[in-house]
Structure 1
Amino acid sequence: MFRVKELLLSAETFNDPIFEYHLKYFRWYGYVASEEQPRPWFSLFRCTLFTASIWISCALMLARVFRGYEHLNDGATSCATAVQYFAVSIATLNAYVQRDRVIALLRTAHLDIRNIMIEADDQEMGMLFQTQVYTRTITLMLWVPSVVAGLIAWGDCIYRTIFLPQSVFNTAAVRRGEEQPILLFQLYPFGELCDNFFIGYLWPWYSLGLGITTIPLWHTFITCLMKYVNLKLQILNKRVEEMNITRLNPGLVEEHLTSSELDHWRMKLCKEFVEEELKIRRFVLELQSLICVPVMADFIIFSVLMCFLFFALLIGAPSKMDYFFIFIYLFVMASILWIYHWHATLIVECHDELSFAYYSSDWYNFQIPLQRMLHFVMMHAQRPLKMRALLVDLNLRTFIDIVRGAYSYFNLLRSSHLY
């Protein structure tokens, strides 16, 4: 059982340049709480309530899907929504169970970023600023389509409720085909309970609000963690290549030091670099343990669902609204898969450059013992750093394989339909 005190973050953590927006939302959701916040135990309760709500919504949507639809187009959007909620339900439950790991990762990352801001030169501060802009851009790119889709569904509810009330709380007419249900009613198996305002109207609004905020924010939060690792590796590569001993002691003047003294300080600097690389490796392993299960689920679920949506577009005659929602779902699912595999690739490639950074230093001016030590350090840096989601590697090749697999399944379904 969680202890509330172990889940509290310092107030300054919520102003972190990379995680600021996500942490403010997580504080509203109840996933994290501030040390200065009154009644922090209420956050744990609120997070439990919201996480349970997502699972209940997922169960209801899947129940509606299993009841079937008369036409494939009628169920394409509902099925895609249900599967999206199933995927985010796995992610939120996993995040809830491993909340202590997330808090530990956040504390480590915030401490490192604070140290970077104190010690960094202009070039490193530029890297930090670029990372900040990048993470905010990625967040908006994934969040805006989800919010737009939710606003359209809400707008449909408001318009139909005000101008076409006979089609809103009139299940009998909908079943006879005389009226069309509003978008949100198509997601739940409420039947005659659609005529109940609280169950048939307010609950879908509440569930949709949770979905359109939780789905993009959680995935982009993991992106921020991965981009932070990439930033750390970029800064490490730069510092290794410079081999600037004044980082250890600003009072040192290289021209006034003997060769032995220079090698002594360079030896200490290399030791610090190795320790920094080991810290990054441990952080990556913790991050991998956090995301391996939900990313593996996304790998399976989204590849099948993308194939299904393309098939629904092929054999049916979807409306313009269906086209719009199917496009949004395909974009969001492809983006979620892409951000994991792309940023994992960035981490691997940036780590692979570390041994070249050692080679790019002025090693040929060092004494023989230090050159030998650098040789072992370079061998250590060449150990591969990979991220995996249980059975699959996270890299661009895997992402391309997912797209190819979805297209192959689509062709198989299309061939069987034609014959």
Structure 2
Amino acid sequence: MYKVNELLLSPDTFDNPIFCIHLRCFRWYGYVASRGEIKPWKSLARCTILTASIWLSCMLMLARVFRGYEKLNDGATSCATAVQYFAVSIATLNAYSQRERVVTMLRLAHKDIQRLMIDCDQKELQLLEHTRIYVRRITFILWVPSVVAGLMAWSDCLYRTVYIPQTVFNMPAVRRGEAQPILLFKLFPFGELCDNFVIGYLGPWYALGLGITTIPLWHTFITCLMKYVHLKLQILNKQAQEMDIKRLNRNLIIDRLTISELDYWRLQLCKSFIQEQLRIRNFVEQIQYLICIPVMADFIIFSVLMCFLFFALMVGAPSKMDYFFIFIYLFVMASILWLYHWHATLIVECHDELSFGFYSCEWFDFSLTVQRTLLFVMMHAQRPLKMRALLVDLNLRTFIDIMRGAYSYFNLLRSSHLY
């Protein structure tokens, strides 16, 4: 079991320019807590309750799916919702079990960004600002469709409760086909329990609220971690091209240094580059440990589900509401997969450019000793850096293969249906 003090972050961490939005949401959910809170153990207990709630909602949805549907279109939206909850249940349980790793990574990243904001020059500050804006846009783009889908479901629930109340708590009429249940009731196997206001009405509202916030929150948080690594590599590439020894000591006066003193400081700079590369590699490994199981599950689940949703669109005659939700689900699932594979590609490509960054400096003006050391630094930078999720390489090629595979499976299903 974790000790509460091991999972606490300093109050200023929640103002971090890259992670602030997600950390404030995580604090509300209880995945992290601040040292300034009076009773931080309550936040961590709330995390257990919310994680259990997501799993309970997921099990209820899957139970409804396994009962079957008379028509394919009737089950397409419910099945997609259940599978989405199953995927996010895996992610949240993984995050719950690895909270100590997440907190450790956040402490390191925040300390590093604080140091960067003090020591950075104007160009590095622009890179940091660009990263801050980028992660906020990505968060907004993924959050909007999830929230819109939730608001549509809630609106349907409120409208029918106010104007068509006989269809809300009237399960006998629903079973006879005389009335359609509200959208939220289609997701759960409550049956006669729908006549209970708390279980049949507020329960689905609570479950839907968890889903539309947790799904985009977790995936965009991992995007923030990956963009932080990309930012570190961009800055390291820039510093390698400049080879500015004044970064090690602001009081140095270059013109007054002897050749041996210049060599010493340049060698120290090369050493700092190696250390920075090792820190980046270690951080990437921590990200891989954190996401390997959820991303592998997403790889399997989403590719099959996208194929099924395309098949439901082509074969059946879904309603306008079903069309809307199916396209929302397709967009969200494709976006989640793209987030991981695209940003992993950015990290790998930026790391591969490090050797060219070292080569771009004015190495021809350095002494032979420094040139040889710089050559070893370049060789170290050429060690390949890859991101994997168990058996899956995270890169754009894998993402394209997933899309192709889903389309191929869809064609097979369509052909078998026609014949």
Common topology (TM > 0.5): yes
Matching residue of 2:183: 183
Does the aligned pair in 1 maintain the 2:270–2:373 contact within 8 Å? no
Note the 1:37-56 alignment, pairs <5 A.
37-56=37-56
Residue 400 in 1 paired to residue 400 in 2? Answer: yes
> Alignment partner of 1:263: what SS?
helix
Q: What's 1:258 paired with?
A: 258
Q: Give the TM-score normalised by the residue count of structure 2.
A: 0.99
In the aligned structure 1, how far is the partner of 2:44 from the partner of 2:29?
A: 9
Distance 2:38 2:385 in 1: 42
CA positional deviation for 1:118: 0.3
User: Which residue in 2 is equivalent to 1:34?
Assistant: 34
Matches of 1:249 and 1:148, distance apart in 2: 52
**1:52 counterpart SS class:** helix
| Partner AA of 1:304 in structure 2 | V
Aligned length: 419
**1-side partners of 2:260 and 2:396: how far apart?**
46
Residue in 1 that maps onto 2:414: 414
**Structure 1 unaligned regions, length at least 5:** none
Paired with 1:62 and 1:298, the residues of 2 have a C-alpha distance of 17
| 1:333, distance to aligned residue in structure 2 (A) | 0.2
Cα deviation code 1:344-399 (max 9, x no counterpart) = 00000000011111100111111111111111111000000110000010000000
Gaps of 5+ in 2: none
Alignment partners' CA distance in 2, 1:51 and 1:390: 24
Q: Quick one: distance in 2 between partners of 1:323 and 1:77?
A: 9
Counterparts in 2 of 1:250-399, with a 5 A limit? 250-399=250-399
Tell me how far 1:257 sits from its aligned partner. Answer: 1.6
Q: Give 1:170-209 correspondences, 5 Å limit.
A: 170-209=170-209
Q: Distance in 2 between matches of 1:248 and 1:369?
A: 19
Cα offset for 1:253? 1.8
Q: Give 3-state SS (helix, strand or coil) of 1:27's partner.
A: helix
What is the TM-score normalised by the length of structure 1?
A: 0.99
The residue matched to 2:284 in structure 1 has which SS? Answer: helix
Corresponding position of 1:229? 229
Q: CA deviation at 1:258?
A: 2.0
1:11 corresponds to: 11
In the other structure, the counterpart of 1:86 is: 86
Cross-structure match for 2:163: 163
Say whether 1:135 aligns with 2:135.
yes
Q: Give the structure 1 partner of residue 210 of structure 2.
A: 210
Structure 2 counterpart SS, 1:69: coil
Give the Å deviation of 1:73: 0.2
- The letter of the residue matching 1:22 is H
Q: Matches of 2:158 and 2:341 in 1, distance apart? A: 39
Q: Deviations over 1:167-206 (max 9, x none)?
A: 0000000111111110000000011111111111000000
* One-letter amino acid of the structure 1 residue matched with residue 193 of structure 2: L
Measure the CA separation in 1 of the matches of 2:237 and 2:183. 52
Give the aligned CA root-mean-square deviation in angstroms: 0.5
> Which string of whole-angstrom CA distances, capped at 9 and with x for unpartnered residues, describes residues 249-281 of structure 1?
112122222222111110001101110110000
Give the counterpart letter for 2:89 in structure 1: S
Show structure 1 runs of 4+ deviating over 4 A.
none
Residue of structure 2 in register with 1:103 after alignment = 103
- Does the 8 Å contact 2:61/2:78 carry over to 1? yes
Counterpart residue identity of residue 329, structure 1: Y
Measured against aligned partners, the alpha-carbon deviations of 1:308-328 in whole angstroms (never above 9, x if no partner) come to: 000000110001100000000
Letter of the 2:271 partner, please give it: K
